[in-house]
Chains A and B, each alone.
Chain A
Amino acid sequence: MGPKKETKEASASAKKKDTPAATTTATASAKKTTKTAGNTTTATKVVTKERKEKVKSTALKAKQRVVRGNQLTRKRKIHTKPTFRRPFTLRLQRQPKYPRRSVPKRNRLDHFAIIKYPLTTESAMKKIEDNNTLVFIVNIRANKPLIKQAVKKMYDVDAEKVNTLIRPDGEKKAYVRLKADHDALDVANRIGII
């Protein structure tokens, strides 16, 4: 800290006073020693610079205290109820450093897997003609909305409603009634049932 200050003062005094270097450094060092003894008016510029910094820092501290609030004196909260509930605290979202699985699981119940095949029994044919419905054997884990989506994706038809039942041999049968603007017979032709 010592030598640094001296050079600073030397440069400052050299700049301000414009006198040959050797004498100023000597005088500067001399001034420093005199300064520590007591306040001198000769080396005014050096002292005021330090003084300025000190004043600045105290001002800054005072300002900070006003802004932040003094830690020593705090307001006590008034509790008007006998129960104390845990206050809401900050809950951060997860930021994992690595995904647990490298590849996310693929959906095994996609529309190819949902609809297995259409039924072509006599009663199924009757349904196609009379009730505008198609009958499918469907994956047993599929539910009605999934079946609706799958039919739409595979055959481009809108379903009005889907009724399902589980056959005694363990397969799920889905009666898919098509919307009025679709003809089940046409769709059946297109699929290949007939």
Chain B
Amino acid sequence: MTRVKCSKLRGKKPDELQKQLEELRQELNTLRVGKVTGSGGAQKLGKIRNVRKSIARVLIVTHQTTKQNLRALYHGKKYKPKDLRKRKTRAIRRLMTPKENSVQLKKLQRRQWAFPQRTFAVKA
């Protein structure tokens, strides 16, 4: 296995990705055994890094596609899992929404309707 590419991984199905992940991890295991027994050469030792990074890539793609699908699933719903909600900052999340902010007393509403700000113009 020369180099696992993310673009190729994204096309695969989740079970295929899982299988590939298992294969890669087995390979890593054998490489590590080889490292200890001294059987491998520089080739094999260099391969360890590639395999580790490939495993990382598979995991990334798996996680990204799962997250993407979940976001699509929860899109528009009222209650989403907390990690799918906007992160922003803690304080901002606790602020009032623009709608809540714009709520006015009935008294004020009536007054504004009855006595709006008038603009006058002086005729030249």
Contact = CB atoms under 8 A, between A and B. Distances in A.
Interface of A: 97-103, 112, 115-120, 154, 191-194
B36 A98 contact: no
Nearest to A110: B25
Interface of B: 25, 28-30, 32-37, 39, 63, 66-67, 70, 74, 77, 79-84
Contacts of B39: 192
A118 B81 contact: no
Given A97-B79, A112-B25, A154-B29, A102 B34 contact: no
Given A97-B79, A192-B30, A102 B36 contact: no
A100 B29 contact: no
Contacts of A192: 30, 33-34, 37, 39
Contacts, number: 50
Question: Max chain B CB contacts within 10 Å: which of A102, A103, A119, A154?
Answer: A102
A100 B82 contact: yes
B117 to A, nearest CB: 44
Given A119-B36, A192-B37, A193-B37, A112 B83 contact: no
A101 B84 CA distance: 8
A154 B79 CA distance: 42
A193 B33 contact: yes
B77 to A, nearest CB: 8
A98 B81 contact: yes
Contact of A101 (B25, B77, B81): B81
B37 A102 contact: no
B32 A102 contact: no
Given A103-B67, A120-B36, A98 B29 contact: no
